């Protein structure tokens, strides 16, 4: 069951058929552009020539869609992936009605909701229902290879503590408007939802797009370990600033003919989608950031880009997703003297990967060892979401496999994001 879909991730979750998931997809929402975009994406997925899906849509529109869904309960799992501000109440109500929840982060936007978050998670445990966040970044093969390298003492040498100015781990995403359709799965369009530019619905950028980056930071640095939100994380600084969008740029991004009056700042829109937050987790300094650009620089790809740089005692490892779908993984020794040992360690690591990713090897180019993947790891757009759903099905069948650390790390993550948003807003005045 999907309630009030409003984000592309709602459709991406059903981009492929998953064993154990019933083919009948129940959708509850008010009639509007968010619902129509979602239905269009699922319909195109059903009709695509390459590995089409076969979702049977049962669409129920009208007022109070969540109340109707939770009352009728045609399924046992609710997908919540829409307007950020509405998510918390949707999740809490689902848990109260003994429904499992797959929720697209973020669903906590303000510090005042942190005690309530803990109560909802504890209630879910007592009712024996799952509240599982979508974390597709954990399921991409490139991030898996990055974590393997960070765990290898002969390659990485253990994470350094770093400083606020030179962190141990840096993660930054860059988005351009409008969204490029070339790097999205068939059936998932490039229109940006208009609500994403309205802080009343989306929240501050550091409470929004920083959430999955912090989740990935925890997963890379301390895999399968609980982070104590009271003792092991501390915000150092946060800042945010706007991107100025003209009326034509806003229209190109959203498909709307004009900027809504509530967002109009004299013929343009101030989108506070840019921000950085620096924090420590178990003493290691981390910086996460998100940038929104109205248009890509001339001569560069127009897609969303991402960069993660991890500093270790022996080497630096970086993964860069370019806007045209290309991905690069590079390992650089901390000094020229370490190149010989690093070359041998990387060769052994690549040999260990052959059963999963045949043909992977490292080439020494430009002062770094760059991973060559003959077939791009065979990754197609949207596949990580299929792995999220498959993991959920497995945990649903084997509840004891659900890791206890997820509860603590959600509290730690949202303690950071909500505090960062609060600090950044105060600086803006």
Q: What token pair was written down for 20?
A: 């154990």
**Taking a C-beta distance cutoff of 8 angstroms, is the pair 52, 45 a contact?**
yes
401/220: higher pLDDT: 220
pLDDT on residue 187: 42
The 10s digit of each residue's pLDDT in 95-131 is: 999 999 999 999 999 999 999 999 999 999 999 999 9
Number of domains in the chain: 2
What's the pTM value of the predicted model, to 2 decimals? 0.93
pLDDT band at 398 (very low <50, low <70, confident <90, very high): confident
Q: In percent, how much of the chain has pLDDT > 70?
A: 93
Domain boundary among 134, 150, 179: 134
**Taking a C-beta distance cutoff of 8 angstroms, is the pair 4, 29 a contact?**
yes
- 202 inside domain: yes
Indicate whether 67 and 149 sit together in one domain.
no
Indicate whether 187 and 86 sit together in one domain.
no
For residue 378, pLDDT beyond 70: no
Domain boundary among 134, 153, 179: 134
- Give the CATH number for residue 144: 3.30.360
Indicate whether 130 and 206 sit together in one domain.
no
For residue 180, pLDDT beyond 70: no
pLDDT on residue 190: 60
The 10s digit of each residue's pLDDT in 187-232 is: 455 678 888 899 999 999 899 989 999 999 999 999 999 999 999 9
CA distance 419 to 425: 10
- The rounded radius of gyration (Å) of the Cα atoms in the chain is 22
Q: Which domain holds residue 107?
A: 2-134
Indicate whether 77 and 175 sit together in one domain.
no
- Tokens 């390992």, located at residue: 331
Residue 115 CB contacts under 8 Å (≥ 6 apart), including other chains: none
Q: What token pair was written down for 391?
A: 């993991």
Mean of pLDDT over the chain:
91
Indicate whether 329 and 359 sit together in one domain.
yes
């Amino acid at each position: 069951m999907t309630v009030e879909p409003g984000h592309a991730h709602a459709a991406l979750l059903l981009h492929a058929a998953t064993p154990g998931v019933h083919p009948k997809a129940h959708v509850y929402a008010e009639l509007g552009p968010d619902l129509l975009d979602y239905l269009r994406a699922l319909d195109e997925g059903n009709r695509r020539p390459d590995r089409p899906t076969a979702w049977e849509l049962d669409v129920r529109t009208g007022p109070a869609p969540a109340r109707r869904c939770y009352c009728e309960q045609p399924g046992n799992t609710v997908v919540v992936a829409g307007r950020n501000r509405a998510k918390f109440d949707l999740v809490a109500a689902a848990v109260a009605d003994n429904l499992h929840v797959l929720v697209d982060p973020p669903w906590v936007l303000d510090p005042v909701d942190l005690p309530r978050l803990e109560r909802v998670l504890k209630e879910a445990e007592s009712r024996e229902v799952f509240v599982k966040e979508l974390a597709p970044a954990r399921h991409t093969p490139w991030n898996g290879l990055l974590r393997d390298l960070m765990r290898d003492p002969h390659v990485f040498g253990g994470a350094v503590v770093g400083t606020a100015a030179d962190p141990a781990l840096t993660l930054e995403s860059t988005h351009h408007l409008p969204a490029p359709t070339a790097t999205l799965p068939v059936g998932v369009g490039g229109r940006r939802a208009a609500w994403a530019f309205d802080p009343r619905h989306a929240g501050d950028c550091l409470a929004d797009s920083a959430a999955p980056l912090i989740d990935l930071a925890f997963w890379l640095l301390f895999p399968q370990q609980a982070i104590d939100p009271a003792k092991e994380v501390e915000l150092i600084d946060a800042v945010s600033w706007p991107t100025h969008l003209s009326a034509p740029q806003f229209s190109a991004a959203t498909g709307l003919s004009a900027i809504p009056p509530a967002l109009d700042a004299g013929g343009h829109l101030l989108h506070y989608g840019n921000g950085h937050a620096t924090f420590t987790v178990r003493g290691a300094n981390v910086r996460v950031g998100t940038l929104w650009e109205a248009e890509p620089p001339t001569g560069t790809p127009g897609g969303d880009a991402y960069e993660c740089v991890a500093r270790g005692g022996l080497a630096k490892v970086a993964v860069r997703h370019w806007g045209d779908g290309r991905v690069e993984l590079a390992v650089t020794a901390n000094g020229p003297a370490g190149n010989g040992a690093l070359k041998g360690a990387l060769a052994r690591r690549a040999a260990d990967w052959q059963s999963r990713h045949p043909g992977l090897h490292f080439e020494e180019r430009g002062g770094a060892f760059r991973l060559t993947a003959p077939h791009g790891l065979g990754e197609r757009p949207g596949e990580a979401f299929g792995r999220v759903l498959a993991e959920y099905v497995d945990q649903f069948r084997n509840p004891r496999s659900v890791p206890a650390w997820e509860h603590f790390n959600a509290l730690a993550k949202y303690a950071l994001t909500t505090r960062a948003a609060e600090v950044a807003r105060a600086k803006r005045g």
